[in-house]
Structure 1
């Protein structure tokens, strides 16, 4: 262990960050040939599951800044992957929708990303996978509950 620090060999937080980085790298590798990256894929996937999200909601869901999401949405709109109204129907929110082209590209990307997830879980039994999901969900819940003041 480093003086005054944590032992990276036994730090669960460090191991989770390392796993996250490895997952992102593997996803980027399979998405690149499709003209996508993880952020673009995340945005399209979020819109597929929750049509009409605002750019702020998309930014939170894709773990990027609002400014980065606005730049991405402008590019996706130019490329014909999403549509947004010229004016907000209510308030300032411009609800974003996938186009058929966006949906078709998302389907290809989803197959690629799923192959990475299958590879990531290939060394685990079904029971171990279930346990890992449960443990990760519990960690997320505990950290969010603490930051929400619960």
Structure 2
């Protein structure tokens, strides 16, 4: 049986492009594309850059912590970490002090690469936030956090 009973829209929208989820995805795709282009010049991917940022802010994170923080699976995080280790940008302990987690730390080369790439990424964020009135930034950030929390994140 083919039930084509219309499903009411959660808010007035003439088509799918006016839905919040669509607009969020469009903004995320634009951000990812801009970051991909900028980070290519620093021989980094977005997940690699994100790992470097997290390791700089919180030295000693585990693979699981980095996977959560970079929004990838543990398996993908292992691939990212292997690439960063091969490039000499991070180190991982040979053994775990507690449990099985192997803490990750930046090398001096990792700090240098992160510093160079950070300027490019921050310039992208600056372009995004310059496009909206400054007094709306705090509300936008709060609204995004509220939406994520409403979905259990």
Q: TM-score with structure 1 length normalisation?
A: 0.88
- How many residue pairs end up in the alignment? 143
Deviation at 1:141?
2.2
Give 2:39's aligned residue.
31
Larger Rg computed on CA atoms: 2
2:103 to 83, 95, 110: 95
Within a 5 Å distance, the mapping from 1:101-116 to structure 2 comes to 101-116=109-124
Map Cα deviations across residues 57-80 of structure 1 (whole Å, 9 max, x no partner). 101111111111112212211221
The CA distance in 2 between the partners of 1:117 and 1:37, in whole Å, is 17
3-state secondary structure, aligned to 1:80: coil
Give 2:84's aligned residue.
76
| Structure 1 unpaired stretches of 5+ | 146-150
The CA distance in 2 between the partners of 1:123 and 1:91, in whole Å, is 46
Within a 5 Å distance, the mapping from 1:1-150 to structure 2 comes to 4=6, 7-144=15-152
Deviation at 1:4?
4.5
Deviation at 1:30?
0.8
3-state secondary structure, aligned to 1:83: strand
Segment of structure 1 superposing worse, 31-40 or 136-145: 136-145
| Structure 2 unpaired stretches of 5+ | 10-14
